Structure 1
Amino acid sequence: MSHDDANGRNGGATFLIGFIAGSMLGAGLALLFAPKPGDETRREVAERAQRVSERARAGLGTASDRVSHFAERGKAMYETAAEKAREAAKAVREGRDPSAVVAEAADETFS
């Protein structure tokens, strides 16, 4: 797996984590420097932190679902390819033309 492939898969999660952390930090600093009484400021910080936390949980749930979906698809593709390879090897051992075996497997896979 290349470095670019790894970044492509993890880039969304990394961005989400950075976005959430930046949002929390920005909201907290904005409220701390706002001219409001301490109790009101603390309440607002707590409310905003709760909203960001809820959004983060929803986003991570979605990301987790997508990763699971792609993992299942990858596993199914691997299993199909492995089965086709076993069938092709058996056909070649039985004396069939390798190019015909490959063409037949491709037709079955993509039709």
Structure 2
Amino acid sequence: MPPGDALATIAPDLAGRIEEALATALVAPQTATGTAADAAAAGDASGIPGGFRIVTGDRVNMRAGPGTGFEVVGQLVAGQRTEVLGAEGNWLRVRGEDGTEGWMSARYLAPLPDG
């Protein structure tokens, strides 16, 4: 059993908090002069308007709420398009191409390329 799975079995609450901390630990703060695109690139969902984003992670969990402590309701893979429905902190409420709605960490979503 991988160490991460063992921790999740022994202390699921602690494992979730560690996963959430790791998901946001490398997020750079947005400066006052930053744009929404800069915020998206840094993984900061604040100030990001609705619209569409593309999944950048290989396989990213979509959760029932804005944090790793919430149930996984689906997964999206790199290159899939999502519609942004809302934001809370570094989490975006999104709708996948199949209509599934949930929350994803903004660090795994990027603005659609121009063109």
Output the TM-score relative to the length of structure 1. Answer: 0.26
Given the two structures, how large is their TM-score scaled by the length of structure 2?
Answer: 0.25
* RCO comparison, higher one (Cα < 8 Å, 6+): 2
Larger radius of gyration: 1
The structure richer in helix per residue is 1
